[in-house]
């Protein structure tokens, strides 16, 4: 099991310091013993600037894992690959699918990966690994691939489509998450959790064969969640006795307040520059 684990948020909607750039996006840096990897890349080159300010050398990363193909998680790909041409990339084959989101005024916004990012990834050849099923990138670090949707109350959390005419709903099948085994329990990292937070945690419990969850960090995509979904999500989280929940990016302000009320000090607000560790004894 991983003995030393540190996690640093490099891109998020909020920042602990005005000198660190915030944006609608997510990127997380993980150091698990001697293995370093990046989870998502935000939507711009803010990732590079923030990493430099925080003293993190992205050229030392062993791997890049992409949670799904939305622009706010893949926008820094070109810059990362320029810094680290030999990095191994893990992603679901669906990350390249064109996709759209219907806005409140009815207009359709492209939300997929940029052509530049897509081209850069396609040039990776032998360094690009398709995550078409559950994948271990080390003995104690795993990637879910597509998460089974077994709950009746969870959905993708928004009006997402595969076409600009809003005729083909996008189930965001490429949505994936990660887990890291430690002696204190598993640490789970989510991108947007479009498959649902409960679905994701239940699946990772099954894959990791570990029932004790220490930390869950990432976007929970609860900003459009119904009262029923919020209650059932919180009921599940409390039943698992999770030590720490770190809400980032797309969780939603109202949802974060609800989680804070229900979970108390276990709920930590994520922000660029926040560094977490897991004590592994």
Give yes or no for residue 11 having a pLDDT over 60. Answer: yes
Tokens of 215: 């930390």
pLDDT tens digit string along 232-267? 999 999 999 899 999 999 999 999 999 999 988 899
pLDDT tens digit string along 186-213? 999 999 999 999 999 999 999 998 889 9
Give yes or no for residue 145 having a pLDDT over 70. Answer: yes
Query: In Å, how far from its chain's centre is CA 10?
Result: 12
Task: Please give the pLDDT value at position 280.
Answer: 62
How far apart, in Å, are the Cα atoms of 273 and each of 7, 153, 224, 249? 10, 33, 27, 14
Task: Please give the pLDDT value at position 125.
Answer: 72
Nearest residue to 244 (alpha-carbon basis) of 279, 273, 281, 206: 279
Contact 10, 16 (CB under 8 A): no
Nearest residue to 154 (alpha-carbon basis) of 217, 205, 101, 229: 229
User: Which residue bears the tokens 């430690």?
Assistant: 182
What confidence category does residue 49 fall into, taking pLDDT thresholds of 50, 70 and 90?
very high
For the chain, give the percent of residues with pLDDT over 70: 99
User: Which residue bears the tokens 């990339």?
Assistant: 89
Beta-strand relationship, 63-65 and 88-91: parallel
The residues, ordered by sequence, that sit 6+ positions from 39 with a Cβ below 8 Å of its Cβ are 26, 27, 28, 29, 30, 64, 65, 67, 178, 189, 191, 218
Which neighbouring-strand residues pair with 169? 161
Report the distance separating Cα 191 and Cα 40, nearest Å: 7
Give yes or no for residue 155 having a pLDDT over 80. Answer: yes
Give yes or no for residue 79 having a pLDDT over 80. Answer: yes
| Averaged confidence pLDDT in the chain | 95
Which class for 86: exposed (0-12), middle (13-18), buried (19 or more C-beta within 10 A)? exposed
The residues, ordered by sequence, that sit 6+ positions from 234 with a Cβ below 8 Å of its Cβ are 258, 259, 262, 263
Beta-strand relationship, 128-130 and 108-110: unpaired
Angle between helix 197-208 and helix 227-239 axes, rounded to 10 deg: 30
Report the distance separating Cα 83 and Cα 4, nearest Å: 26
Contact 85, 121 (CB under 8 A): no
For the chain, give the percent of residues with pLDDT over 90: 94
Q: How many CB atoms lie within 10 A of CB 177?
A: 28
Helix (H, G, I), strand (E, B) or coil at 12: coil
Q: Could you write out the DSSP letters of every residue in 187-205?
A: EEEESS-TT-HHHHHHHHH
Mean pLDDT, rounded, for 70-94: 97
């Amino acid at each position: 099991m991983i003995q030393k684990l540190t996690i640093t948020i490099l891109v998020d909607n909020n920042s602990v310091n005005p000198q660190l750039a915030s944006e609608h996006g997510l990127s997380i840096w993980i150091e698990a013993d001697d293995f370093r990897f990046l989870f998502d890349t935000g939507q711009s080159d803010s990732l590079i600037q923030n990493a430099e300010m925080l003293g993190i050398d992205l050229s030392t990363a062993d791997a890049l894992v992409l949670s799904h193909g939305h622009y706010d998680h893949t926008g820094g790909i070109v810059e990362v690959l320029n810094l680290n041409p030999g990095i191994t990339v893990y992603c679901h084959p669906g990350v390249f699918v064109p996709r759209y989101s219907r806005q409140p005024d009815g207009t359709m916004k492209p939300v997929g990966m940029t052509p530049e990012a897509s081209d850069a990834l396609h040039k990776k050849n032998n360094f690009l690994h398709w995550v078409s099923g559950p994948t271990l990138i080390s003995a104690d670090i795993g990637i879910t691939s597509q998460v089974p949707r077994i709950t009746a109350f969870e959905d993708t959390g928004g009006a997402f489509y595969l076409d600009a005419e809003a005729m083909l709903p996008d189930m965001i099948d490429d949505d994936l998450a990660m887990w890291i085994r430690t002696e204190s329990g598993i640490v789970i990292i989510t991108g947007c959790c479009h498959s649902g937070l409960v679905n994701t945690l239940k699946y990772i419990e099954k894959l990791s064969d570990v029932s004790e969850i220490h930390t869950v960090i990432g976007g929970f995509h609860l900003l459009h969640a119904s009262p029923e979904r919020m209650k059932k999500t919180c009921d599940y989280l409390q039943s698992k006795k999770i030590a720490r929940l770190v809400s980032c990016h797309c969780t939603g302000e109202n949802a974060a307040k609800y989680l804070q009320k229900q979970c108390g000090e276990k709920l930590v607000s994520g922000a660029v520059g926040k560094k977490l560790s897991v004590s592994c004894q």
